[in-house]
Amino acid sequence: MSYRVFLTDDATRDLEDLYDYIESYDTPEKADYVLDKIEEASLNLSEYPERGAYPNELLAVGLREYREIYFKPYRIIYRVIADSVYVMVIADGRRDMQTLLQRRLLQA
């Protein structure tokens, strides 16, 4: 079964912000590379979305609705609903993920 993969508006903004940050502190080529790899990883969820692990920050509060995959150090957090995958967060895993996930996913 093939799933459809969607980026939420928040995840799209995450990608844009990430690109801008890398471009300003490194090179446009590096920003393009990272963006391509994250998009590739996200699109690969169409085949095996259940392969992702449960984010520890969400397990700690009893949530098993979200999963994550990595393009290190970036974390791609998503939710599978029926035959669709919704990418909710794309963030540098070195950030304060607990606060980010609580603000983004738990207070929706």
Please name which of 87, 105, 80 lies closest in space to residue 18, comparing C-alpha atoms.
87
Residues 48-94 pLDDT 10s:
999 999 999 999 888 899 999 999 999 999 999 999 999 999 999 88
pLDDT at 96: 85
| End-to-end Cα separation, the chain, in angstroms | 30
Q: What pLDDT score does 98 carry? A: 84
Range 4-16 average pLDDT: 96
Domain 4-106 has CATH 3.30.2310.20: yes
Instruction: Say what the pLDDT of residue 101 is.
Output: 86
Which uninterrupted H or E stretch holds 99? helix 97-101
Q: Model pTM?
A: 0.90
φ, ψ of residue 70 in degrees (nearest 5): -125, 145
